[in-house]
Structure 1
Amino acid sequence: MRLRRRLLLVGAAGALAAGSTLLWQHGAWGNKVFEPPADDVCIVAPTRVTEAHAYDAASGLAIHDARPIPADARCPVCGMYPARFPRWAAQIIFKDGAAHFFDSPVDLFMFLEKPASFGSVRNAADAAAIYVADFRNGNWLPARQATFVRDSRARGPMRGPDLPAFADTASAQHFIAEQGGRALSFAEIDATVITGLRDANHAHHMH
């Protein structure tokens, strides 16, 4: 009987110590902002309708300037969080200043091809500006002036082939020398290219 009582007391003391540790950790870390590791993979259920983010005049940016990606912004194509992937991200700024953010160029081009497929009432003609991130440093580039690389060994946020973007052909060719692939302009990314990349990235996610 004494042994049983002793074991119960030891168990209770252990549980109390564990609970205290968890409370201390919560107090120590509760106010810190979570930052995912560089190799983090975001897996979420696709959103069927994602509202465009309205223009904020207080931001100090012109209405059609590229803007920082809000942490809570969801890609209207796959539902992922583009802010987690700054070297792959893209954005469309519409004429009224509202913006959609994308986790990669593949999803940007999928949206431009068929916006209605993703619940959008806007279309490509409503876009005042389109930007992609420079794969080297994450800086925003006008998408129509960027050079993209197809069929490289680099894998995008969905761990499939994508279209890393660069400010000029020389930068793209330097990347190709290391990672393979071939350079394409914005105009060369046609329906055939988009379909192949869509199937490679979204075959198991699209319905």
Structure 2
Amino acid sequence: MLMLPALPSLATEKPGVAPVIDLPKPGPRDRCPVCGMFPERYPDWTATVLFQDGHADHFDGAKDFFKYLYDMPKYASGRKREQITGMGVTGYYAAEMIDAQQALYVIGSDVLGPMGHELVPHPDMYDAEAFMRDHAAIKILRFEDTSMEMLLGLDEGKFDWG
């Protein structure tokens, strides 16, 4: 399994809670580099990667965000992971951009994102567990628990891998 190394956080941290972070919002012409959709149309699902030079890539969900990170040569030609200064995903209940590395992700629920089955982000275990109960979800994952195999499985509606 390919591991995604951690980056420094942009926000003040509370133990066990992914902090709200300030990243650029997608504009009307921004397209998801993975699927080509327009993330601005899906503000409740937006994920963002910010680079040192100020360039930001936006995604229509956490699933495409992770696919991008696992295959940057394909989706971010000429850019390297070490150039990333911030990564955020939109938390499900509060709809605020939270630190992607500290978020918890729930899979296998009855909630679908713009690209179908998704990793649904939450800032803490309380929200993630409540979401699991409310939406018949299967599993809670941390940032480092993801894999490309799992992401491709979600595309096919599979929630058990490896």
Query: TM tier, shorter chain?
Result: 0.7 to 0.9
Q: Tell me, in whole angstroms, the C-alpha distance in 2 between the residues paired with 1:119 and 1:112.
A: 9
Give TM-score, length-normalised by structure 2.
0.78
Q: CA deviation at 1:197?
A: 2.4
Q: CA deviation at 1:198?
A: 4.3
Aligned to 1:134: 91
Q: CA deviation at 1:111?
A: 0.5
Segments of structure 2 that go 5 or more residues without pairing to the other structure are: 1-20, 158-162
Q: Is the 8 A contact 2:117 2:155 kept in 1?
A: no
| 1:107 and 2:64 matched | yes
Q: Is the 8 A contact 1:161 1:197 kept in 2?
A: yes
Structure 2 residue identity aligned to 1:167: P
Determine which structure has greater relative contact order: mean sequence separation of CA pairs < 8 Å that are 6+ residues apart, divided by chain length: 2
Q: Would the alpha carbon gap of residues 198 and 94 (structure 1) be closer, same or farther in structure 2, given more than 3 Å must change?
A: farther
Q: Tell me, in whole angstroms, the C-alpha distance in 1 between the residues paired with 2:29 and 2:48.
A: 14
| 1:98 and 2:55 matched | yes
What is the alpha-carbon root mean square deviation over aligned residues?
A: 1.9
Q: CA deviation at 1:119?
A: 5.3
Aligned to 2:41: 84
Aligned length: 137
After TM superposition, where is structure 1 displaced by more than 3 Å over at least 4 residues in a row? none
Q: Structure 2 residue aligned with 1:165, among 114, 121, 129?
A: 121
Q: Would the alpha carbon gap of residues 143 and 198 (structure 1) be closer, same or farther in structure 2, given more than 3 Å must change?
A: same
Q: Tell me, in whole angstroms, the C-alpha distance in 2 between the residues paired with 1:187 and 1:170.
A: 19
Q: CA deviation at 1:92?
A: 0.1
Q: Would the alpha carbon gap of residues 119 and 92 (structure 1) be closer, same or farther in structure 2, given more than 3 Å must change?
A: closer
Q: Is the 8 A contact 1:93 1:128 kept in 2?
A: yes
Judging by fraction of residues, say which structure has more strand.
2
Segments of structure 1 that go 5 or more residues without pairing to the other structure are: 1-63, 201-207
Q: CA deviation at 1:120?
A: 2.1
Q: Deviations over 1:33-78 (max 9, x none)?
A: xxxxxxxxxxxxxxxxxxxxxxxxxxxxxxx941222122110111
Judging by fraction of residues, say which structure has more helix.
1
